Structures are given as C-alpha cells and as structure tokens.
A = this chain, B = another copy of it.
Amino acid sequence: MKNILTRRTIRKYSGRDIEPALLNRLLTEAARTQTMGNLQLYSVVVTRSVQGKEALAPAHFNQPMVKQAPVVLTICADFRRTTKWAECRQANPGYDNLLSFMNAATDALLFTQTFCNLAEEEGLGLCYLGTTLYMPQNIIEALKLPKLVFPVATLTVGWPAEEPPLSDRLPLESFVHDEHYHSPTSADINRYYAAKEALPENREFVRINHKQTLAQVFTDIRYTKADNEAMSRGLQEALKRQGFI
C-alpha cells in the first residue's frame, strides 16, 4: 500500500471497462478480511447496465459518477444467506435484531475498505458514496433486496481520468487518545482546525456560501439537523421493513 499517502477520491473515469476477471479477483481477495464467526455477513451487487445505473442514480442525488463509472458496487449487510443456511440445516436463526444488523454492517464495511485499498493499489479510481444511508428504500427497491439485506456502502469504480489535489487531514492528536478519551477544549479545537480553516479552498467555500465560518457550511448546508433527522426516520423505517428492528 505504498500509494496510501497519495490516495484521492476519483470521480471522473476513462471509457475503459473493468474486466470481470479483475473485479472478481479483487472481490475474492477482499473476502480475506476478518469477518464475524467467519460468516461473511455481506453481499455485493454489481451494477454494469445502463438501466441499473439509472435506477440507482436518484438515490445518490443523481451524482454523475453513478452513470459514468463502468461499475457501481452496492455493498450490503446480509443476514439473509446465513439465515437461509440455518433454515436448510434444522437450525433456528435469530438475526432479526439491531445487534445483528450492526454485526453485518460491520462485516460489510470492513470488506468494503479492503476492496478499496486493493482496487486503488491496482490503479483503479473510486468514489465512496456516503448517500447510501440517506434514502436506502430506493436502493432496496432498485436492487430487489430481500429482508435481512440492507445497503451500507456504494462505490463507483473505474480507471481514473483525473488527478485531483490531496485533501487535508486533521492532526493525529485530534483523534488519538491515550488510555481514555480527553474531551477537546476550545483551545484544542482552535489548534486542531486551524490549518483546515486557513486553506484557500475552504475560505472560498465559506465565501461563496455566504457563511461566517467553515463549520457553518457543514451545519447549515451540507449536513443539517433537519435533514439528518428526516433521514434518520427514513433509515429507521427501512431497517424495520428489512426486518432488522
């Protein structure tokens, strides 16, 4: 992973396709990731068709990557296969609950990240769509996900046709705590966020959004309380419909 320090999200892809053999190799290797009880509580839906991408696009706010990427992967928390296995083997499954959802979501996300690391090492470009949890019902319908299957991550994957600048990161001391959690003081916050707030692109971001601070761009525009609360209700409803709560 010599490329980890130069990784960036890639949103523009060349016309080149991804060979099924390459994709299958990367998915097979990613499955070496540790998994709960070796149960592999995840599934991946591979979307290559134009119709398939069009069906998914609205759930991702029609971000152009969904239709432009040769491959869209939707990674799901999946207790369906394990439950079916139990039913076929005179065993009584009990995975229709919150803990089981979190266990399967964990498995799915760990698998997803190993796939990302492998694919980027291979030279592929990825965009991780955080929108997957925003309107999960749309994705559930588009991909015909049965009960006990829930989408937790989406990746658009292709060969890079851009090389955007590296994004900044907070200093290590802001997210690593010795022995126990140390709640940040105002002085800590000033130190942690100074470099981020001073970046020309972030100052411009504040200006064009007519805000006073960078934090306000996040709280008032990008991730608002009202949106989060509305989408939390949708998420809860979808978890209920999929049989996890």
Complex-state Cα separation, A32 to B4, whole angstroms: 7
Report whether A46 and B178 are in contact in the complex, using a CB–CB cutoff of 8 Å. yes
Report whether B121 and A1 are in contact in the complex, using a CB–CB cutoff of 8 Å. yes
Most buried by B among A130, A218, A229: A218
Return the chain B residue nearest A118 by Cβ: B1
Report whether A45 and B130 are in contact in the complex, using a CB–CB cutoff of 8 Å. no
A116 at interface, CB cutoff 8 A = yes
Q: Within the complex, what minimum Cβ distance (angstroms) separates A45 from chain B?
A: 5
Q: Within the complex, what minimum Cβ distance (angstroms) separates A82 from chain B?
A: 8
Complex-state Cα separation, A97 to B226, whole angstroms: 11
Report whether B97 and A228 are in contact in the complex, using a CB–CB cutoff of 8 Å. yes
A177 at interface, CB cutoff 8 A = yes
Q: Within the complex, what minimum Cβ distance (angstroms) separates A236 from chain B?
A: 6
Report whether B181 and A40 are in contact in the complex, using a CB–CB cutoff of 8 Å. no
Complex-state Cα separation, A143 to B37, whole angstroms: 26
Report whether B183 and A48 are in contact in the complex, using a CB–CB cutoff of 8 Å. no
A80 at interface, CB cutoff 8 A = yes
Residues of chain B within 8 A (CB-CB) of A153 are 106
A85/B215 contact (C-beta < 8 A), A24-B172, A32-B4 known: yes
A100 at interface, CB cutoff 8 A = yes
What is the copy number of this chain in the assembly?
A: 2
A22 at interface, CB cutoff 8 A = no
A residues lining the B interface (CB < 8 Å): 1, 4-5, 7, 9, 24, 27-34, 36-40, 42-49, 52, 76, 78, 80-82, 84-86, 88-95, 97-100, 102-103, 105-106, 109-110, 112-114, 116-118, 121, 126, 128, 130, 133-134, 142-146, 149, 152-153, 167-170, 172, 174-181, 183-184, 186, 189-190, 192-193, 212-216, 218-220, 222-226, 228-229, 231-232, 235-236
Complex-state Cα separation, A81 to B153, whole angstroms: 24
Q: Within the complex, what minimum Cβ distance (angstroms) separates A234 from chain B?
A: 8
Complex-state Cα separation, A152 to B105, whole angstroms: 11
Report whether B175 and A89 are in contact in the complex, using a CB–CB cutoff of 8 Å. no
Complex-state Cα separation, A184 to B78, whole angstroms: 12
Residues of chain B within 8 A (CB-CB) of A39 are 218
Report whether A97 and B29 are in contact in the complex, using a CB–CB cutoff of 8 Å. no
Report whether A95 and B181 are in contact in the complex, using a CB–CB cutoff of 8 Å. no
Partner of A103, one of B44, B46, B130: B130
